Amino acid sequence: MDTKPQRVIVDGNALAVRTAGTGQALVFVHGWMCDSQDMVLLAAELVEDHEVVLVDLRAHGQSEGTPAAVTQADGPDGPGRFGLAEFARDVIGVVEQVGVAPAMLVGHSMGAGVVLEAAHARPDLVRGVLLIDSRWAFTAATAEQLATIPGLWGEEYPQRRACMDDLRRRVLPEVVPDLPVQEVAAQSSRSLLTWDGRTALRDSPVPVHAVVADQHVPLIEPARAWKPDLSAEHIAGTGHWVHVEQPARVAAAIRRFESWLAG
């Protein structure tokens, strides 16, 4: 898939954005410690009749960020500047500056939280949100999971970084590792694990559809108790990078959601 690279400036950061195709816009947002390389296979399934927009969030992939300016006050209990709200501003800036509103926002894992937050902030720019295997939009983090946050600020980070690199390489053997620095990973992890995703999902101002891999199927029905009108589907035989393992099936889910939106 041939893409046209460009730079979009948001909060002083130059974000790497690639576009291709024409038609209704789909904006793809990657997950935690990842970048837009993860979204290329899915975008390629849809570029024939859509404008696809791939973005590296601030301080990820080829985008600029300011992690060196993070201070001690931005530690595990501080406000942070690399959280879901900040990443949502990146997405909003891309939609506005590339000129693709109203766009469908497609987010994987942490990116699902990002696109939900972007839709809450600017529903006028968004025609729908599709979540790919988003655990934290369905359930809150446990005490054990929250206890992992401080470790990312210390000596545990290199091991977690190596683990993420290994996981990505299993599904994307050609991926070029370009993981965010420790401060960015730690802040974004804290933001995601403390995010009130269920309320964000329940109160979404735009239609939402969720695609779920095998590991998160048990979360669907409890989530429907929280949001009775939840639209979700399971793509069997897939892991967390369902959109990489089965891009054609996820693309088909996007098309079905678009057809439903069109009435």
Q: What is the pLDDT along the chain (263 residues), one digit of tens a residue?
A: 899 999 999 998 999 999 999 999 999 999 999 999 999 999 999 999 999 999 999 999 999 886 544 444 444 444 458 999 999 999 999 999 999 999 999 999 999 999 999 999 999 999 999 999 999 999 999 999 999 899 888 888 888 888 888 888 888 888 887 778 888 999 999 999 999 999 999 999 999 999 999 999 999 999 998 899 889 999 999 999 999 999 999 999 999 999 999 98
- Three-state DSSP class for residue 106: strand
Measured in whole angstroms, how far is the alpha carbon of residue 227 from the centre of its chain?
A: 21
Query: What pTM was computed for the model?
Result: 0.94
Query: Rounded CA gap, 84 and 62, in Å?
Result: 19
3-state secondary structure 67-96: HHHCCHHHCCCCCCCCCHHHHHHHHHHHHH
Query: Rounded CA gap, 17 and 3, in Å?
Result: 9
Residues ≥6 apart with Cβ < 8 Å to 262: none
Residue extents of the structural domains in the chain: 4-262
Q: Please, what is the Cα angle at 223 between 33 and 236, to 5 degrees?
A: 65
Closest C-alpha to 5, from 54, 39, 50: 54
CATH class of 4-262: alpha beta
Closest C-alpha to 107, from 209, 22, 177: 209
Residue 58: phi and psi, rounded to 5, are -50, 135
